Amino acid sequence: MNNRELEELLAIDRTVLPDNGGTEFNRLIFSRSPYLLQHARNPVKWREWGDDALNEAKCRDLPLFISIGYSTCHWCHVMAHESFEDNEVADLLNSSFIPVKVDREERPDLDDFYMTAARALTGGGGWPLNVFVDHEKRPFFSITYLPKYPRFKTPGFIDLLKNISTLWQKQRELIRSNAESLIAGLATSTIMPAKSSISLENCRTSAFSHLEEIYDHAHGGFGMAVKFPMPTYLLFLLTSSGKAEQMALHTLDKIIDGGIHDQIGGGFHRYAVDRKWITPHFEKMLYDQALLITSLCQAYKTSGKSEYLKTAEKTALFCIRELQDTTGGFCAGIDADSEGGEGFYYTWSEDELNTGLSDVFLPLADYWQRGDEYRLDDRLILCPSMSLEKFAAKAGISPEKCQSIYAQGCSQLLTLRSTREAPLKDLKIVCAWNGLLISAFVHLYEVSKEPLWLRHATVCATAIIEKMFTPYQALKRTILGDKAGVDAFVEDYALLATALADICRHDKGSYYLENLKLILKIMMAEFISVDGEVRFTTKSGEQLPLALPTIQDNVTPSAAASAAIALMSGGLLSGDQDMIECGELIVQRYRGFIEKSPAACLSMILAAEMAEKRK
């Protein structure tokens, strides 16, 4: 699907369609999720997650086939084209299963539960995440991407469907027993570890030792390949000096000079498939931009290196140029694929590069790397071969002239790139991720003193409050156009509240402070128990077979840590002692988890240190 096709689908008058979508569509046509709309014309009779699907499964005595993904996911597209658009596969899914599509960005609760189960079942995970589920919502088998037919010793999806259907019909008791055992095994992860006398300082030291162990000393980052930027790691390391700080700065240096950084348009791709950060997986996610802006601001504060500030500003401008909608909110992300395939939009042939740079800027063509490892299908991934200072000396021009040539040349290439068909933009606004970006804009304002960034923070915050929050209807997780999606989760409340607290440090007006207090009071009432446990969903929200702890970081900070930080920050600003004590209670509640797995709880360590400083 491209941007034009998405707009056409959104414009369809759904009031004239039957409940099942009619002959042209399935039930997903009634969704407001771009990911689900991508599958609205599949011959698979998809349903959205909910009681309707569960009741149909029980009525027809069939298992559910739940496929979880998101609109900018490359392998989700591949499996859709190979299997979900195929009539033979669709006939099997429709006759032997109740097929359900889930947008993981709308329903992180479902994604987290079924991904945790998938890792327990198979030892791995990823998207599309496809799980086979019984009538009690319990998974009993899972896969990620599979081709339709067997390939290179990989089983085929169509054969798997037949085997699972037979298993359901003939060995139901085995399925039930395995599902029960899986849930019982996962339940061990919810047991609260006992607290000990380990100090926070020792927890920090232990966490750093783990990060140092997996750190790539040659190329920065953590692990070998695939490499994610992992801003939660960077932000933790940047709160220390010495070796920890140098690990973070070295990683940022390598990322900035790599293909994972869009050298022309700004912003960062989701991850690199190689150790050197050269070849990215080309999708761009809002949460990555937000957390990397914050990381770059912190790096600039600690090092004074101007490149970090320049890159943060360039990333912020990318967000404003390509992700901001007309209300002031920011869209979820941009796909990796376009008309030429994955990464085509961002890469260059030699002829395109030389033609795209006029004679004035042609010397810049020699600035980019030319080796084989910097090519994808014989197209160049633009990475600098040296610093601009060194390039200026090599070209025999002044640093100022070189900087001017670089800026204007990149602008010329960006204009040329904009004539290509752009990758799909996921237009939905996710509350939590906008909260992260609002905070990032405030941090950028604080280090740059440029009022533009604070202005964008307040415009975005106002848009989110006006569109997605009322004191009587609570907060929404997503909105697309004027249609709000599901109710918000605790991370949405926490990250929006932290963003409002960040604004309130500079804007003392009552508007943001009053909304901050309202949001935190709802969060305390709906998500936090009297002993400090943080639930991901509200008390009245949907219950899954198991409630997982909200303590471990992922690519974004954990929900429990985010809630604790929001409450302590908001309480200090508003003078509400109950909020402060609630935040501190959360920290104490999860202290055993911090001590057991400190490297998995970096954000909670920062929250605990925040609480300790008050004493």
Domains delineated in the chain: 3-190 (3.40.30.10), 200-339+425-613 (1.50.10.10), 341-417 (no CATH)
Q: Cα dist. 364→263, 285, 354, 360, 401 in Å?
A: 13, 29, 9, 9, 12
User: Residues near 513 by Cβ (< 8 Å), separated by ≥ 6?
Assistant: 500, 504, 573, 574
Kindly tell me the number of DSSP H helices and DSSP E strands found in the chain.
24, 18
Q: Are strands 331-334 and 425-430 parallel, antiparallel or unpaired?
A: antiparallel
DSSP string, 491-520: HHHHHHHHHHHHHHTT---HHHHHHHHHHH
Q: What is the pLDDT of residue 517?
A: 95
Mean pLDDT, the chain, integer: 93
Quote the CA–CA distance of 263 and 407 in Å, as a whole number: 11
Q: What is the pLDDT of residue 356?
A: 76
DSSP 8-state symbol, 240: S
Quote the CA–CA distance of 455 and 503 in Å, as a whole number: 10
Tell me the per-residue pLDDT of 84-111, one tens digit each, with 9 for 90 and over.
999 999 999 999 999 999 999 999 999 9
Tell me the per-residue pLDDT of 495-554, one tens digit each, with 9 for 90 and over.
999 999 999 999 878 999 999 999 999 999 999 999 999 999 998 888 899 999 899 999
Q: What is the pLDDT of residue 362?
A: 63
373-376: which pairs have CB atoms within 8 A and are 24 or more residues apart?
373/274, 373/276, 373/278, 373/279, 374/259, 374/278, 376/279, 376/343, 376/347
Tell me the per-residue pLDDT of 346-364, one tens digit each, with 9 for 90 and over.
999 988 888 777 666 666 7
Quote the CA–CA distance of 142 and 15 in Å, as a whole number: 36
- Assign residue 277 a region (left: φ > 0; alpha: ψ between -120 and 50; beta: otherwise): left
| Residue of 228, 234, 233 lying closest to 298 (CA atoms) | 234
Beta carbons within 10 angstroms of residue 306's beta carbon: 9
| Residue of 292, 280, 270, 272 lying closest to 224 (CA atoms) | 272
∠ CA(330), CA(292), CA(346), 5° rounding? 70
The DSSP H or E segment spanning 484 is strand 483-484
> Residues 582-596: what's their mean pLDDT?
95
Q: What is the pLDDT of residue 361?
A: 64
Q: Which amino acid is at 8?
A: E
Of the pLDDT bands very low, low, confident and very high (cuts 50, 70, 90), residue 124 is confident
Cross-strand pairs, 67: 101, 130
54-61: which pairs have CB atoms within 8 A and are 24 or more residues apart?
54/135, 54/137, 56/98, 57/98, 57/135, 58/135, 60/98
Q: Which amino acid is at 383?
A: C
Tell me the per-residue pLDDT of 287-319, one tens digit each, with 9 for 90 and over.
999 999 999 999 999 999 999 999 999 999 999
Residue whose structure tokens are 């509350």: 431
Q: Are strands 129-133 and 139-143 parallel, antiparallel or unpaired?
A: antiparallel
User: Residues near 208 by Cβ (< 8 Å), separated by ≥ 6?
Assistant: 237, 240, 244
User: Residues near 592 by Cβ (< 8 Å), separated by ≥ 6?
Assistant: 192, 193, 194, 195, 196
Quote the CA–CA distance of 31 and 223 in Å, as a whole number: 38
Of the pLDDT bands very low, low, confident and very high (cuts 50, 70, 90), residue 191 is confident
Tell me the per-residue pLDDT of 40-73, one tens digit each, with 9 for 90 and over.
999 999 999 999 999 999 999 999 999 999 998 8
Of the pLDDT bands very low, low, confident and very high (cuts 50, 70, 90), residue 78 is very high
Percent of the chain at pLDDT exceeding 90: 80
CB 230 within 8 A of CB 278: no
**Could you tell me the two tokens for 498?**
């932290």
Of the pLDDT bands very low, low, confident and very high (cuts 50, 70, 90), residue 195 is confident
Residue whose structure tokens are 């499964």: 57
| Residue of 302, 189, 284, 180 lying closest to 240 (CA atoms) | 302
User: Residues near 140 by Cβ (< 8 Å), separated by ≥ 6?
Assistant: 63, 132, 133, 134, 175, 178, 179, 182
Q: What is the pTM of this model?
A: 0.95
Quote the CA–CA distance of 283 and 293 in Å, as a whole number: 17
